[in-house]
């Protein structure tokens, strides 16, 4: 396949997200402007100007009308996807790390980093249909987890919030009361910071990737460990194919360590694993730096990866990808 | 415009073309105007480019029976492993195209009796250095001799080797004696070494002869190297 290279960001990529229809790709990077691209040919549609810090995460509503972004400038912003206009700003006392719309786009969960004496927190905000009605009040604030929460998403039917972070423990919280319902098992769980979390297409399970060079799949309701995938590199990003039973992991060494090893250009790869057999299917090379973001198009026929090098690589699969057998 | 587009896609579908199912809204979004930094972009901007390299999903090497490395019609090919480059089914180690002639020498240095000599390519190897040669006896003798070396100082001028041999011979078998001779005058420089076969003899010699009067001089007898007894 011939990947499409998109160099819209000057700084490392942090997050990639496709919209529900799969025709738009949103990219967030450490430069302050999230960008939206057309997912078929990689043509840039626009950028969202307004943030003053690295943008860590974004989510788009189901109708592709609203975009929410979380940034290190201690705000989360709501945008009109089409015009690029800012609709609302949620202010916090510490950098906002992860954002996620609920099913139905009526609520959003935003996590904030620990900052000085403040511990990390999970905020649930109501999203009004009409932006002028939007208020900044939190429906629920959950404090408590140690360390940074790297990702928090809504569980099945918006009943729960699943969070994972630096302390390598996955927690399930009740989304109405804020009570901690479950914690991942310390023995079976990750040993180092969990960097990424991705829900399956139907929400029944999710995949976590960690710096301990492994990724694991967990059941969304019971939090039991289902599968583990082991690689040689710390995992920065995970995604699951909505079409086939594949899991893709992206990661890499620090840039500082690269020069001491074989530095063939573009050596960083996104590794494909068979979801059920836990075996490696192959890798797609090309990035010049560790891969920080991965996303599968909802139709399962293409995927994109964003790296430390600032490039987004959009891959449309060849027909023989769909016939891979182990 | 919209109507035409919808008709077209219906037409194509009716013709049975494999068409990516694009939702109506997606088609609408295609028509959106650019915003933000993309406003002043010309169509030929270099932001988006198709890769010049063909990238494939690289399969990891050992896949089992689906590998195509074995030559067709050669059932033993899978067993043909080259230790140098790791390729299977292509050539044996001796026929490796990247035959490295320099063997790592450090493997052999640490095991003198049992190991083969360092990187000889069909050169002559003396019997004592050949693999399996019995070299334990020789080395033992030599080592023990140096360990059982006794230094004698304050010797008189005319003391020579036979004198020391006689003197120390009463304690045990002496393998070697040496007296330092001044080349110019031919006289003893006043010290010498005696090597015993047995350590106990050496120890007894030291005990008895240290401070012994010999030829009007008091001898000093001690271990040649500082050694705890």
Contact call for B58 and A324, based on CB within 8 A: no
What six digits make up the tokens of A61? 């509503």
**Residue B186 in domain:** yes
User: Can you tell me which residue has the tokens 């969960």?
Assistant: A109
User: What pTM did the predictor assign?
Assistant: 0.66
Closest CA to A28 of A242, A310, A237: A310
Number of domains in chain B: 1
What's the pLDDT band for B15 if we cut at 50, 70, 90? very low
Burial of A42 (0-12, 13-18, 19+ CB in 10 A): buried
Closest CA to B83 of B69, B70, B66, B100: B100
Interface confidence (ipTM) of the complex? 0.76
Q: Which helix (H) or strand (E) holds B2?
A: helix B2-14
Give per-residue pLDDT as tens, A273-286. Answer: 999 999 898 889 88
Helix B161-169 to helix B199-209 angle (10° resolution) is: 100
Beta strands A66-71 and A312-316, pairing class: unpaired
**Residue B132 in domain:** no
Percentage of residues in chain A having pLDDT higher than 70? 95
Whether residue A82 lies within 8 A of chain B, CB to CB, comes out as yes
Name B170's Cβ contacts closer than 8 Å, sequence gap at least 6.
none
* CA closest to B26 among chain A residues: A23
Give per-residue pLDDT as tens, B127-175. Answer: 777 766 655 555 555 555 677 889 999 998 888 888 889 899 888 888 8
HSE-CB of A81 using CA atoms within 13 angstroms = 24
Provide φ and ψ at B200, rounded to 5°. Answer: -65, -40
CA distance A83 to chain B (A): 6
pLDDT of residue A260: 47
pLDDT of residue A134: 82
* CA closest to A300 among chain B residues: B20
Average pLDDT of the residues in A237-252: 92
Beta-ladder partners of A304: A295, A314
Beta-ladder partners of A206: A199, A218
Choose the weakest-confidence range: A199-203, A236-240, A282-286, B141-145.
Answer: B141-145
What six digits make up the tokens of B219? 């001898």
* CA closest to B25 among chain A residues: A21
Nearest CB to B50 within list A2, A83, A324? A2
Fold of A3-323: Methylamine Dehydrogenase; Chain H (2.130.10)
Nearest CB to B49 within list A5, A269, A318? A5
Residues from B contacting A (CB-CB < 8 Å) are 20-23, 25-26, 29-30, 32, 34-39, 41, 45-51, 53-60, 63, 66
CATH number of the domain to which B176 belongs: 3.30.70.330
Beta-ladder partners of A4: A314, B50
Distance CA B120, CA A91 (A): 76
Distance CA B57, CA A282 (A): 6
Quote the domain boundaries for residue B168.
145-223
| DSSP state letters, A180-240 | EEEE--TTTS-SS-EEEEEE-TTSSEEEEEETTTEEEEEETTT--EEEEEE-SS-EEEEEE
**Residue B7 in domain:** no
Contact call for B20 and A299, based on CB within 8 A: yes
Q: Is the pLDDT of residue B77 over 70?
A: no
* CA closest to A22 among chain B residues: B26
How far the first Cα of chain A sits from its last, in Å, is 20
Distance CA A312, CA A294 (A): 9
CA distance A84 to chain B (A): 6
User: Can you tell me which residue has the tokens 């799969």?
Assistant: A22
Closest CA to A34 of A49, A17, A20: A49
Are A170 and A208 in contact by the 8 Å Cβ rule? The answer is: yes
Closest CA to A310 of A245, A233, A255: A255
What's the pLDDT band for B79 if we cut at 50, 70, 90? confident
Closest CA to A221 of A173, A168, A155, A177: A155
Average pLDDT of the residues in A149-171: 92
Nearest CB to B34 within list A1, A46, A266? A46
Burial of B181 (0-12, 13-18, 19+ CB in 10 A): middle
Contact call for B57 and A7, based on CB within 8 A: no
Residues of B in contact with A4 (CB under 8 A): 48-51
Residues of B in contact with A266 (CB under 8 A): 53
């Amino acid at each position: 396949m011939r990947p499409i290279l998109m160099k819209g960001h000057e700084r490392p990529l942090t997050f990639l997200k496709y919209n529900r229809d799969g025709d738009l790709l949103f990219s967030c990077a450490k430069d302050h402007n999230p960008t939206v691209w057309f997912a078929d040919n990689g043509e840039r549609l626009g950028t969202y100007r307004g943030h003053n810090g690295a943008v860590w995460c974004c989510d788009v509503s189901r109708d592709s009308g609203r975009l929410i972004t979380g940034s290190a400038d201690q705000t989360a912003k709501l945008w009109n996807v089409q015009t690029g206009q800012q609709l609302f700003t949620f202010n916090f006392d510490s950098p906002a790390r992860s954002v996620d719309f609920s099913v139905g786009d009526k609520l959003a969960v935003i996590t904030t980093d620990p900052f000085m004496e403040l511990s990390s927190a999970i905020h649930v905000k109501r999203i009004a249909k009409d932006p002028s009605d939007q208020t900044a009040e939190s429906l629920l604030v959950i404090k408590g987890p140690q360390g940074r929460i790297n990702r928090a998403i809504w569980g099945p039917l918006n009943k729960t919030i699943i969070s994972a972070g630096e302390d390598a423990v996955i927690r399930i919280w009740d989304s109405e009361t804020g009570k901690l319902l479950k914690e991942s098992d310390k023995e079976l769980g990750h040993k180092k910071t969990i960097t990424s979390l991705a829900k399956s297409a139907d929400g029944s399970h999710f995949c976590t990737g960690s710096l301990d060079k492994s990724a694991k799949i967990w059941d969304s309701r019971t939090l039991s460990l289902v599968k583990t995938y082991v690689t040689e590199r710390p995992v920065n990003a995970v995604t699951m194919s909505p079409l086939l039973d594949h899991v893709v992991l992206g990661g890499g060494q620090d840039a500082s360590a690269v020069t001491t090893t074989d530095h063939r250009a573009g050596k960083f790869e996104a590794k494909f694993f068979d979801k059920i057999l836990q075996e490696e299917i192959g890798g797609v090379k090309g990035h010049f730096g560790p891969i920080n973001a991965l996303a599968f198009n909802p139709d399962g026929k293409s995927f994109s990866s964003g790296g430390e090098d600032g490039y987004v690589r959009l891959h449309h699969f060849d027909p023989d990808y769909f016939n891979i057998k182990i | 415009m919209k109507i035409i587009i919808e008709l077209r896609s219906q037409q194509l579908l009716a013709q049975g073309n494999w068409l990516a199912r694009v939702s109506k809204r997606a088609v609408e979004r295609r028509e959106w105007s650019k915003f933000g930094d993309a406003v002043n972009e010309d169509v030929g901007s270099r932001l988006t480019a198709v890769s010049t390299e063909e990238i494939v999903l690289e399969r990891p090497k050992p896949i089992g029976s689906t590998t195509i490395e074995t030559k067709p019609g050669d059932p033993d090919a899978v067993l043909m492993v080259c230790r140098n480059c790791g390729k299977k089914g292509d050539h044996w180690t001796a026929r490796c195209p990247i035959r490295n002639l320099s063997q790592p020498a450090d493997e052999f240095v640490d095991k003198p009796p049992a190991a083969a000599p360092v990187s000889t390519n069909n050169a002559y190897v003396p019997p004592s250095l050949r693999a399996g040669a019995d070299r334990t006896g020789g080395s033992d003798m030599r080592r023990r001799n140096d360990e059982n070396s006794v230094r004698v100082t304050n010797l008189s001028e005319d003391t020579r080797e036979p004198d020391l041999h006689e003197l120390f011979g009463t304690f045990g078998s002496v393998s070697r004696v040496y007296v330092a001779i001044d080349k110019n005058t031919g006289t003893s420089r006043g010290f010498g070494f005696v090597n015993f076969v047995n350590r106990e003899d050496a120890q007894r010699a030291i005990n008895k002869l240290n401070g012994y009067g010999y030829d009007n001089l008091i001898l000093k007898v001690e271990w040649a190297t500082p050694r705890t007894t």
